Structure 1
Amino acid sequence: MGDLDVVTLIIIGVNVVISFKGFNDRAFFEKYKFNSAAVKRGEKLRIISSGFLHVDTAHLFLNMLTLYFFADVVIASLGSISFLLIYLISLLLGNLLSYYFHKDEYHYNAVGASGAVSGVIYAAILLYPDMSLYMFFIPIPIPAYVFGIGYMLYSIYGMKNRIGNIGHDAHFGGAVGGYIFTLILVPQLFATSLFMVILLAVPIVLLFFLQKTGKI
C-alpha cells in the first residue's frame, strides 16, 4: 500500500484545492457544504461538493492519508476508472444516507471525504480480506475484515447515539457504496469469497433492521 496512481493524485489535489479555498473563503464554504435544508430546497450540488470540503487541515490530512494507503489496493485489482467510480459512488451514497437520516434537521451540516474514503476502504477489504492493518494504538496486526466489520458496527453505534461531531451515517453509506459496487464489478467474489461477502454484509443488514424497527 502507498503508491500514488495518477487518479489518486488528482483526487487528492482536487480535495486540497477545494478545501483550502473553503478555509480562506467562508462564503464559498457555506455555499457548497452539505446542509439538509439547502438540499431540500433543491441545491443538490451540495451532495457532491461537500465531499471535497474539509473543516480544517487535520481533517483533510487524515482523509487523504487514509486514501493514500488504500487507493492502490483497489486500483491494483480493478483499475483506475473503477476506483474512481467507487470513490464517487461512495461519496454520493454516503451523503444521500446522511440526507435520509437528517432531512428534517434543517441545521444539519457536514463536509469531508470520509464517505468516499470509507467506500475505498471497504472495497479494499472485500478484495483482500486477509490483509493485515496496523493501527496507531494497537501494536499487533488486525485482519482487514475484523477492522471493516468493527468500523461499520461503530458507525451504527455512533449514528444511534449521536457520538461526537462526526458524520457516522456518511461513513456507513460510503462503505455500503464501496461494498455493493465492488461486488457488481467483481461478481466472482460470490463464488470465491462467499463467507466473507456474507460476513461483511452483517452490519448492513443490522442497520436495515434497526431502521425498520425504529431503533435508529
Structure 2
Amino acid sequence: MITVSIIVLTCLVSVTSFNHAQRIDDLSMWPYMIKEKKQFYRFVTGGFVHADFMHLGFNMLSLFFFGSFIEEVFLQIFQSKLYYPLFYLLALIMSSIPTYLKHQNNYGYRAIGASGAVSAVVFAAILFNPWARIYVFVIPMPAVLYGILYLVGTFYMARRDMGDGINHDAHLWGALFGLICPLIFEPKIGPYFLDQLLHGYR
C-alpha cells in the first residue's frame, strides 16, 4: 500500500531528524536557499520532516485514514498505481510554491511538514464522499462541513500571519490542489461530486 509506504518513510525521516537542527535545515522548505542555491529538492524533502511527535502524528493519522481511501479510488478511476504517488508529490510542490514566492528573500523563514500534501489528500477524498462522517476533537461532522470550516479558518489565519510557526498557506493551497487536480484529469468527477453533495446525505 502506497499510503503506508509514505507514512513509514515520513516517520523514519522525521523521527531520526528530531533534535538534529542541521538535518532539519538541510531538508526543510527554505525559500531563500531555493532561490539562491537552486536547491529545488526542498519543495519535496520539507514534507518529510516534522517538528515533533504531535505534528507528525496528526499529519500521518490524517493521511492514513483519508489516503487509504483516495488511493483505492484513484486506482479504480485512473487504472494506474502511479497516479496517487504523483498526486502526493505534486501536492507537496504546488502547496509550497506560494510560500516560496512570499518568502524567497527571507533568510530566516523555513517550513517543515507534510500538511500541504495531506490537505490535498483530505480534500480529494471530500470530492468522492462529501457526507462521510469524521470526528474533529470527538465532535462528529460531515467531511464537506469540515472542509468549508477548514478553508475559511486557514484563509483567515494565512492572511493574518498568525506567527504560530505553521505554514497555513500550504494548508490552503494544498486543499485547493486536492479539489482541482482530480477534476483536471477526470472532469466527470465534478458531476459525481455534485450528485453526492445533493443526494448522497444519509
Whether these two folds match at TM > 0.5 is yes
Matched with 2:30 is 35
Q: Which residue of 4, 8, 31 corresponds with 2:3?
A: 8
Aligned residue in 1 for 2:59:
63
**Shift in Å, 1:169:** 0.3
**3-state DSSP class of the match of 1:44?**
coil
Matches within 5 A, 1:72-151: 72-79=68-75, 80-138=81-139, 141-151=140-150
CA contact (8 A) 1:93 1:174 kept: yes
Q: Which moved more, 1:181-190 or 1:153-162?
A: 181-190
Contact 2:128–2:196, Cα closer than 8 Å, also in 1 = no
SS in 1 for 2:9: helix
| 1:133 Cα deviation from its structure 2 partner | 1.4
Deviation at 1:106, TM superposition (A): 2.4
Pairwise CA distance, 1:103: 2.2
Contact 1:22 1:28 in 2 (8 A): yes
Quick one: distance in 2 between partners of 1:134 and 1:21? 30
Give the letter aligned to residue 62 of structure 2: T
| Secondary structure at 2:40 match in 1 | coil
Amino acid at match of 1:47: F
- In the alignment, what sits opposite 1:3? none
Alpha carbon RMSD of aligned pairs, Å? 1.9
Report the residue type matching 1:115 in the other structure. G
The answer to whether the Cα contact below 8 Å between 1:36 and 1:105 also exists between their aligned partners in 2 is: yes
How far did residue 24 of structure 1 move? 4.9
Cα distance in structure 2, aligned partners of 1:155 and 1:196:
25
Superposed CA deviations along residues 120-146 of structure 1, whole A, max 9, x for unmatched, are 0010001111212111252xx312111
1:185 to partner: Cα distance: 3.3
1:78 deviates by 1.1
User: Which residue identity does 1:152 align to in structure 2?
Assistant: L
TM-score by length of 2: 0.86
Unpaired segments of 5 or more residues in structure 1? 1-5, 198-216
In 2, the alpha carbon distance for the partners of 1:95 and 1:195 equals 32
| Structure-2 residue corresponding to 1:185 | 185
Query: How much does 1:92 deviate?
Result: 0.8
| TM-score, normalised via structure 1 length | 0.81
- Contact 1:21/1:28, CA 8 A, preserved across alignment: no
State the Cα distance separating 1:195 from its structure 2 match.
Answer: 8.0
Q: Following TM superposition, by how much is the alpha carbon of 1:196 offset from its aligned partner in structure 2, in angstroms?
A: 8.1
1:37 positional shift: 1.2
- Distance (whole Å) between structure 2 residues aligned to residue 180 and residue 123 of structure 1: 8
